[in-house]
């Protein structure tokens, strides 16, 4: 089974999903922002930080779709398993590179 990485139509679903997630995250961030400060609400602060990190990953993934590099590992350049992208459309690295990063 081969999946062409340059076929942008193949990632139309991923793009829609990423845009939906981006909207969702930004809405949560907007809601949290009044109290997302360590001195006011440390939990909200932590939550906002993780949402901000996710927004960055999602934005980067959308940029990769636009550039035609989506679906390739940003570390080793290998194809990311389609099943992984289905579960995590914003994944920037293949499972192997990610596991190295997590272990580090
Ligand atoms: Zn990799």
Q: Each residue's pLDDT tens digit in the chain (104 positions)?
A: 555 545 557 789 999 999 999 999 999 999 999 999 999 999 999 999 999 999 999 999 999 999 999 999 999 999 999 999 999 999 999 999 999 988 87
Four-point Cα dihedral 53, 10, 82, 76, nearest 10: -70
Question: Per the domain annotation, does 3 fall within a domain?
Answer: no
Domain containing residue 42: CATH number: 1.20.120.910
Question: Per the domain annotation, does 2 fall within a domain?
Answer: no
Question: Per the domain annotation, does 31 fall within a domain?
Answer: yes
In sequence order, the β-bridge partners of residue 72 are 79
Ligand 1 centroid from CA 84, angstroms: 12
Ligand 1 centroid from CA 34, angstroms: 38
Radius of gyration from C-alpha coordinates of the chain: 16
Q: What is the pTM of this model?
A: 0.83
Question: Per the domain annotation, does 4 fall within a domain?
Answer: no
The range of the structural domain enclosing residue 56 comes to: 9-103
Ligand 1 centroid from CA 75, angstroms: 5
Ligand 1 centroid from CA 99, angstroms: 9
- As for how many domains the chain has, the answer is 1
């Amino acid at each position: 089974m081969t999946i062409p990485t340059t076929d942008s139509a193949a990632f139309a679903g991923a793009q829609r999903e990423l845009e939906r997630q981006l909207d969702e995250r930004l809405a949560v961030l907007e809601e949290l922002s009044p109290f997302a400060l360590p001195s006011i609400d440390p939990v909200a602060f932590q939550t906002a930080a993780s949402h901000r990190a996710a927004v960055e990953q999602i934005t980067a993934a959308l940029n990769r779709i636009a550039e035609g590099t989506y679906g390739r590992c940003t570390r080793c350049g290998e194809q990311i398993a389609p099943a992984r992208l289905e579960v995590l459309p914003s994944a920037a690295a293949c499972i192997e590179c990610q596991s190295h990063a997590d272990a580090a």
